[in-house]
Amino acid sequence: MLRRTLVGLTVIATLALAACQPTATTTPAPAAPTGIVLQPGQNQPVAPGAQIQPPAPAAQAQPQVPAGQAQPQSPQATPPPSFQQGSEQARSQVYDAPRSPNSNQGEVRPTTEPEQVKALGPATPSQNRILYVRSGRIWTATADGKDRKSILDDKVPQLWSPPKDPGRAWVSPSGKWATYYAGSAGAVWLTDIETGASRQLLERGIPAPNTINDKEADKVTRKLMEQEVAWSPDESQFAILAAPQGQIDVYLVNLKSNQVTQVSNDTAIHSELVWSPTGDALAFRSRDETLQIEKLFILRGQQLLAVATDHIAKVVNEAELGGILTLTWVDNTHLVFYPVSGALQSLGIWVCNVADGSLTPLYNKQLTSPDYSKTAKRWAFTSTDNKNTLYVLDWGATDARMLLPEGGLAPLFTPDGKQIVYSVDNGETYDIHVIHLDGAGERTLVKSVNLIGDNPPEPSPAGKRYFSPDGKWLVYAAVGADYGTTGNNLENWWMVPLDGSQPAAPLTDIPKIFYIRQLAASPDQVAFAFTGLRYADRATHLWTFSRNGGGIVKVDAEVRWFRWLGPQTGPKTQ
């Protein structure tokens, strides 16, 4: 009964905010460009064996970076510690939080500090700065919201984003570089976060006027904002989606040679750009919506390999392949993904050997909620029957091993890969459990908690779950009794130790806030940051607070995206 009520309240809350939320776009499984070979020195892809022609109009908006500008030095990627988010079955979806209907792009101002925020512990200020986008600029501030400044100089135009969307940037793994769309043409720019030095890389990233109708342009531009730019491990290049002529294609930007290369040139839907561990290959998904064909592409050097994933359906006696989900590199040669049938039923776990394009099933039965541990090179997943059997599959194993006979929903590996957190459906709410991989140490961490998903915001056994950098604590979002009403207790963060030594305790007590998401720990591990929608002004706020629940601060308002900066990154102080 309680869960049905929660679903109803979710619907009520969603309808109440429909007027201030942009049209949500789920990320469809991508599409398939024709096989191409990239020739050295050319920006335009060509068919294998075909004579290279001068660049077509669609590729002319790809200027070289002006000569004479200093080439950036690419440091080794050393990402700061961050939280690992719990797996959702639809990982490719990106949720667009509702926006204020009364604020125009470029005119958003921070709102007042909400009242009645309770600190649950003493403040422990972080020494790290936080980077975020708001009102068409990239800002940096201290964790307490002070010393706010823009890292961009006057020569950089306003950041581009769809209407009523604050916009975002994409930061390299080490925190050295930020890339973003800027100006009326949505040009792709790059900024050195430390020095503020900026340059334009691609002249146009969004559709030129009159190339497609307004409705399609809105879909295309929102799709561009949902993507994740794929930085190579050494940060010498990145892959990005852009649509200067209306169709979304993959572009490769090399920071050493200052060259922009168009990798695809078709109307397919490309997504999930993922580099191999050493940066020797780039994989992405591609879907032709007209032909309902989905393929996997591997770019190695100048060669683009189209992997024939369509034959998977025949191997498992399905009429068609509906799509492939979640690309994961196990090593530099093996790429794993989860195919689904035309009816969107799981077809197990498959691996592609990118050296020859061959495909092999690792697990050929239906599954749900797969989670992969890079540390341990193993998967955890649940059966699709009513038992919800929990399985573990090791890389190189011939079959999966049953860990729990029933009741193991939404498994999530701990950072060390030695334990699994999972949920148990008790009929009204969920209990959160943890178990060792040998089946020992099974215990209940939290009883009767209302977990809610990120996208869509509905009751979910996965909920919004994160691990502390030391891997000893689980942080999760819990829905309060007032969710879906105008009450105070809507949604807040809670924390529980994995060893069960203490009961779960709230980390925040912020009234009238929900759709909380993107929880991230500061590199010095003493503070958290997240975004959440405040009911009073329908604005998405950026918050920070100490690890023990103290020092809650609203850093800014109308912020969709942020990133912590490490102690060696960020703007130089005067």
DSSP string, 308-358: -TTHHHHHTT-S-EEEEEEEEESSSSEEEEEEEETT--B--EEEEETTTTE
Q: What is the mean pLDDT of residues 391-400?
A: 94
Of residues 69 and 330, the one with the higher pLDDT is 330
Q: Give the pLDDT confidence score for residue 496 in this predicted structure.
A: 95
Percent of the chain with pLDDT over 70: 78
430 within a domain of the structure (yes/no): yes
Amino acid identity of residue 288, one-letter, is D
Tokens 């080794």 map to which residue? 76
Q: How many domains does the chain have?
A: 1
Q: Give the pLDDT confidence score for residue 308 in this predicted structure.
A: 83
The answer on pLDDT for 384 being more than 80 is: yes
The answer on pLDDT for 78 being more than 90 is: no
Query: Within 10 Å of residue 459's Cβ, how many Cβ atoms?
Result: 19
224 within a domain of the structure (yes/no): yes
Q: Give the pLDDT confidence score for residue 571 in this predicted structure.
A: 61
50 within a domain of the structure (yes/no): no
d(CA 514, CA 530): 11
DSSP reduced 3-state for 56: coil
Q: Give the pLDDT confidence score for residue 239 in this predicted structure.
A: 97
124 within a domain of the structure (yes/no): yes
Closest CA to 48 of 34, 59, 61, 60: 34
Closest CA to 200 of 241, 248, 260: 260
Q: What is the mean pLDDT of residues 215-229?
A: 90
249 within a domain of the structure (yes/no): yes
238 within a domain of the structure (yes/no): yes
Which of these ranges, 35-44, 304-313, 343-352, has the smallest mean pLDDT? 35-44
Q: Give the pLDDT confidence score for residue 263 in this predicted structure.
A: 95
CA terminus-to-terminus distance, the chain: 59
The answer on pLDDT for 565 being more than 90 is: yes
The answer on pLDDT for 2 being more than 60 is: no
Closest CA to 539 of 13, 164, 169: 164
Which of these ranges, 35-44, 110-119, 138-147, 273-282, has the smallest mean pLDDT? 35-44
pLDDT band per the 50, 70, 90 thresholds, residue 93: very low
pLDDT band per the 50, 70, 90 thresholds, residue 49: very low
59 within a domain of the structure (yes/no): no
The answer on pLDDT for 131 being more than 70 is: yes
d(CA 249, CA 240): 8
Q: What is the mean pLDDT of residues 53-64?
A: 31
Average pLDDT, the chain: 80
Is pTM beyond 0.85? Reply is: no
pLDDT band per the 50, 70, 90 thresholds, residue 60: very low
Q: How many CA atoms lie within 13 A of 139 on its CB side?
A: 26
Q: Give the pLDDT confidence score for residue 201 in this predicted structure.
A: 94
Amino acid identity of residue 183, one-letter, is G
pLDDT band per the 50, 70, 90 thresholds, residue 568: low
Range of the domain at 325: 2-33+67-564
Q: Give the pLDDT confidence score for residue 569 in this predicted structure.
A: 60
The answer on pLDDT for 402 being more than 50 is: yes
The answer on pLDDT for 177 being more than 60 is: yes
Percent of the chain with pLDDT over 90: 57
Give the CATH number, domain containing residue 435: 2.130.10.10
Q: What is the mean pLDDT of residues 240-258?
A: 93
Q: What is the mean pLDDT of residues 265-276?
A: 92
Q: Give the pLDDT confidence score for residue 279 in this predicted structure.
A: 96
Q: Give the pLDDT confidence score for residue 335 in this predicted structure.
A: 97
Which of these ranges, 5-9, 379-383, 385-389, 451-455, has the smallest mean pLDDT? 5-9
The answer on pLDDT for 116 being more than 90 is: no
The answer on pLDDT for 106 being more than 80 is: no
Query: Within 10 Å of residue 159's Cβ, how many Cβ atoms?
Result: 24
How does pLDDT run across 491-534, given as a tens digit for each residue? 999 999 999 999 999 999 999 999 999 999 999 999 999 999 98
339 within a domain of the structure (yes/no): yes
Q: Give the pLDDT confidence score for residue 163 in this predicted structure.
A: 84
Q: Give the pLDDT confidence score for residue 443 in this predicted structure.
A: 94
